[in-house]
Amino acid sequence: MFAHEIDNELRLVLLQPSMAERLYQLVDANRDHLKEWMPWVESTRSAEDTKAFIRHANRRFADGESLTCGIEYHGELAGVISFNDIHEKLGKVVIGYWIAEDRQGLGIVTRCCRSLMEYAFNEMNMQKVEIRAAADNTRSRAVCERLGLKLEGVISNAEAVNGRIVDHAVYGIHKEG
């Protein structure tokens, strides 16, 4: 099982079906917070839905297409971060994430993204990391900017999120040297 220590507060762990109930409870407790930016929230109605998501994510991991991890903060599940897509031929990964509302502002997402960026460049030999955020999601865009990713453009009508169409700001950074 993939587990990655970030620092004395944070650890990333590959999601496992045994985590489905805990993850569902976290989603359910943060439903109003998450549904503004996450299109899957409304269709996540039970721990079984979450278990099905985890199984799908683990199949994609086994196929080398993605890596989906729980974010553990002081040993408690606080969110999810992933390589949503691993494009081996392109030398590129796409990072996605969400965090519980009461864990925002603690630098968790920034530290997790930085660690996954380093992992992508140094362990996977990727040449580019990309993050897409809803254009109006100022918190996610601030993470990208803190990490030194450059705005590459905005894609209009990129995603349907709970009855509205959102644009995506696309950020990227290339491996140095």
pLDDT tens over the chain, length 177 residues: 678 899 999 999 999 999 999 999 999 999 999 999 999 999 999 999 999 999 999 999 999 999 999 999 999 999 999 999 999 999 999 999 999 999 999 999 999 999 999 999 999 999 999 999 999 999 999 999 999 999 999 999 999 998 999 999 999 999 985
Amino acid at 141: R
pLDDT at 2: 72
Distance CA 80, CA 23 (A): 9
Structure tokens of 148?
């030194």
Distance CA 168, CA 164 (A): 13
pLDDT at 90: 97
pLDDT at 1: 62
Strands 3-5 and 10-14, sheet pairing = antiparallel
Chain CA centroid to CA 27, Å: 14
| pTM for the predicted model, two decimal places | 0.94
Scan for tokens 């606080």, then name that residue: 78
Distance CA 6, CA 3 (A): 10
pLDDT at 177: 55
pLDDT at 74: 97
Contact 15, 57 (CB under 8 A): yes
